[in-house]
Chain A
Amino acid sequence: MEGKLSNRIRILRFHNGEMSQAELGQRIGLTRQTIAAIEAGKYSPTLEAAFRIANVFKVPLGEVFQWEVSGEDALPEK
């Protein structure tokens, strides 16, 4: 199944008092550069890091990360 991992970290940071990448990274034990790479969709975090990020924003994992299916497997638009 083809697709890509997208995320709403930038928006969630904005809604949490413009939290900086460095601050988020510090709270979950990642570097600022790693948070930037995750936000840009260049690096897929481990499941543990994904849960940690969701926990910081106090939202379910699915609200932070989404799997966007592409190609023939994509759901037809309504």
Chain B
Amino acid sequence: MPYREKTAWLSLCAMIVTFGPYFVYVAMDSGPPRPLPDLHELSYYAAITVAELLILGIGHLVLRLKWPEEARTPLDERDDAIKLRSLSSAYYVLIFGMIYAGCIMPFTFKGWSLVHASIFMIVCAEITRLCVIVISYRRQA
């Protein structure tokens, strides 16, 4: 498995493990809306961001220690092509998400719903990027 695919798997797992439970919590939170700015929501978001950074930091360290030569290898033309393909796919997801969360949702939602929707769309775009990377390497494309 190429080193870039390993790092993509790591990022994908970190994102699912941290943001997955976060969005489940957000979706299940059916209590009455709390007055804004409602900073304890922000503390949850900060906590999962720190958790994700920790997982990524430790994961990258382990990968670098286990495969030091592969980690030092610069990107070649196929890696660049895969990177470009993944970024363009993620771009369309992000554009759709931002139009929805920024231009359509404000007519019916407000406060943290908009923030959560925006974060969700960003996470979707990032997951799309990582999935395209993993699939491209799997298919040797």
Contact = CB atoms under 8 A, between A and B. Distances in A.
A50 to B, nearest CB: 11
Contacts of B139: 42
A34 interface: yes
A34 B78 CA distance: 6
Contacts of B2: 31, 33
Interface string B43-70: 0000000000000000000000000000
A43 interface: yes
A69 interface: no
A45 B137 CA distance: 15
B108 interface: no
A30 B140 contact: no
A30 B75 CA distance: 8
Given A33-B137, A37-B140, A43-B78, 18 more contacts: A29-B76, A30-B77, A31-B2, A31-B76, A31-B78, A33-B2, A33-B140, A34-B76, A34-B77, A36-B140, A37-B78, A37-B141, A40-B140, A42-B139, A42-B140, A42-B141, A43-B81, A43-B140
